[in-house]
Amino acid sequence: MTTKERISTQFTLHPAAAASELLAAATAEALPTITGDVEVFAIDPEIADTAALLDATDLSPATSANCVLVAGSRAGEERIAACMVLANTRADVNRRVKKLLDVRKASFLPLERAVAESGMEYGGIGPIGLPGSYRVLIDSRVAEAKELIIGSGIRGSKLLLSGAALASLPGAEVVDGLANEIV
């Protein structure tokens, strides 16, 4: 059974462009910049966190991609990236992301700041609609996925799209080895 088939047995899928009430404002505004189908489904906000959603849907971690916001600075210039990695991997912040950002030290963006700057809710932050100054780094395994679940910007819904659609986001960079398998 595909991810979409499994999701549609528990939730009602809608074309995301026709269901802006299920999206953060920034996400809804940025949707037209993506090539490909993007669907949205409402969920109980209590299962917005990846592990809870996967438990509730009995899906594999390889069907869900997390958005991790990372920051660092060099010569007084702050550099921020949204790293899209599969739920069964972890962003390689200390090596790969640090090198891509060309900073000496990279760390996760503080929660309060991530929420304030993205205009999205914790547990729902996704790459669609993030500030234009953020780089969007997509692990190649995410870009290759046929179907993915990602944040919609709010805790009460999730997006379903292909990795190719996600990689079509303006300025997105597909990166080999952005994440490491969780062992």
Beta bridge pairs of residue 79 = 72
In the 8-state DSSP scheme, what is residue 64? B
- The residues pairing with 81 across neighbouring beta strands, listed in sequence order, are 70, 135
Please check whether residue 38 is in contact with residue 16, taking contact to mean a CB–CB distance below 8 angstroms. Answer: yes
User: What would the pLDDT profile of 36-50 be if each residue is shown by its tens digit?
Assistant: 999 999 999 999 999
Give the pLDDT confidence of 92-138 residue by residue, as tens digits: 999 999 999 999 999 999 999 999 999 999 999 999 999 999 999 99
| Domains defined along the chain, listed by start | 3-181 (3.90.960.10)
For residue 128, what are its two tokens? 């669609």
Rounded (10°) CA dihedral 165, 178, 118, 135: -80
- 139-179 tens-digit pLDDT: 999 999 999 999 999 999 999 999 999 999 999 999 999 99
